[in-house]
């Protein structure tokens, strides 16, 4: 009914994907002048990353479990600061203690959910050199573990940017893991293509549950970098976890064009990758999950459509 593989087609796709990543990274560095930006905590462990499905909503940055000092990722000017203990503030409490730095050309880095013991020292500063201490890893806002949250926002384009598009990700040799694939027909019935031999002709929505880890199998599961759905050898949907655009109060992401995220994020932790029509005869459904380093896992199903 299906086979799990690292196929030749997937390898070719990976080469194209790696080329795309390199081009996107060069464009980001050139346009925004952010070449050399570093992670705020080089020893921090990612526990949620850009694009992760957080109960039906996307994570717009990267959450770290960390100890020690949080540093400015690049030289910038203080745009805003909020003390986590300032209960009189009307700002959102989930961010806890947070700082926003302006790096020019519309790019803002935001550091939040950390200990604010350095805030009195920090609030006296206007410009921050790269690696300037901003605070200490801790618990504030909606944090459930000691660490911090880091995100990048492009004010010119009005979009959240995946930090891994600009900052080199940790070394990674493990491919993502596709946990489940579901097809939903127009009557709302869910079908597992790995458990059936035949399906009825008609329109189906395809959803995928996939996770990634950076190095060790026991690390916290993360979101993959790209999901691709192909039917009969033709790509019908591809999710690229690179940016989220803010359009008139609606968060959008790219799936063969910009669509509202509410059409992408299904019940935790699934992603809807596409919609297609299956016609009578033999059909194939292939799902590929890629990470930022180009590692890939693909699953192919062969189906009889009646």
Q: What is the pLDDT of residues 2-39, one digit of tens each?
A: 344 444 454 455 445 544 444 444 444 444 445 578 99
Q: Tell whether the model's pLDDT for residue 123 goes beyond 70.
A: no
CATH of the domain at 223: 2.60.40.10
Same domain, 36 and 56: yes
Q: For the residues of the chain, what is the DSSP string, one character each?
A: -EEEE--HHHHHHHHHHHHHHHHHHHHHHHHH--TT---S-TT-EEEE-TT-EETTEE--SEEEE--SEEE-SS-EEEEEEE-TT-TT--S-GGG-EEEEEE-STTEEEEEEEEB-TTHHHHTT-SEE-TT-EEEE-B--TT-SSSEEEEEEEETTTTEEE-GGGTSPPPP--PPPEEEEEEEEETT--EE-TTS-SEE-SEEEEEEEEEEB-SS-TTSPPB--SEEEEEETTEEEEEEEEEEEEEETTEEEEEESSEEEGGGTB-STT-EEEEEEEEPSEEEEEEEEEE-TT--EEEEEEEEEE-
End residue of a domain, out of 165, 199, 217: 165
Q: Which of 146, 165, 184 marks a domain boundary?
A: 165
pLDDT digits (tens, 9 = 90+) for 233-258: 999 999 999 999 988 889 999 988 88
> Does residue 27 form part of some domain?
no
111 in a structural domain: yes
Q: Within this chain, do residues 180 and 298 fall inside the same structural domain, yes or no?
A: yes
Q: What is the pLDDT of residues 204-218, one digit of tens each?
A: 999 999 999 876 656
Owning domain of residue 154: 32-165
Residue 135 and residue 236 in one domain: no
* Domain boundary, last residue among 165, 187, 210: 165
């Amino acid at each position: 009914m299906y086979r799990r593989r690292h196929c030749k087609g997937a390898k070719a796709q990976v080469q194209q994907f790696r080329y795309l990543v390199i081009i996107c990274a060069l464009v980001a560095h050139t346009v925004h002048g952010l070449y050399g930006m570093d992670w705020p905590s080089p020893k921090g462990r990612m526990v949620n990353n850009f694009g992760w499905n957080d109960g039906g909503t996307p994570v717009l940055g990267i959450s770290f479990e960390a100890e020690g000092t949080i540093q400015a990722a690049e030289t910038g000017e203080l745009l805003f600061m909020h003390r986590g203990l300032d209960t009189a503030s009307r700002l959102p409490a989930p961010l806890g203690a947070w700082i926003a730095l302006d790096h020019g050309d519309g790019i803002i880095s935001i550091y939040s959910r950390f200990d604010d013991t350095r805030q009195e020292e920090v609030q006296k500063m206007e410009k921050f050199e790269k690696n300037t201490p901003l605070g200490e890893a801790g618990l504030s806002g909606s944090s459930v573990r000691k660490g911090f949250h880091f995100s990048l926002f492009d004010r010119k384009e009005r979009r959240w940017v995946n930090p891994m598009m600009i900052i080199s990700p940790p070394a990674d040799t493990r491919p993502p893991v596709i946990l489940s694939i579901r097809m939903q027909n127009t009557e709302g019935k869910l079908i597992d293509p790995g458990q059936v031999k035949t399906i009825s002709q008609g329109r189906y929505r395809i959803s995928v549950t996939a996770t990634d880890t950076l190095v060790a199998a026991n690390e916290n599961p993360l979101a993959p970098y790209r999901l691709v759905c192909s039917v009969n050898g033709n790509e019908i949907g591809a999710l690229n976890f690179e940016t989220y655009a803010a359009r008139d109060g609606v968060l959008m992401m790219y799936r063969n064009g910009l669509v509202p995220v509410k059409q992408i994020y299904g019940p935790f932790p699934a992603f809807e990758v596409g919609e297609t029509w299956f016609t009578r005869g033999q059909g194939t459904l292939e799902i590929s999950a890629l990470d930022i380093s180009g590692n890939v896992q693909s699953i192919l199903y062969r189906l009889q459509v009646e």
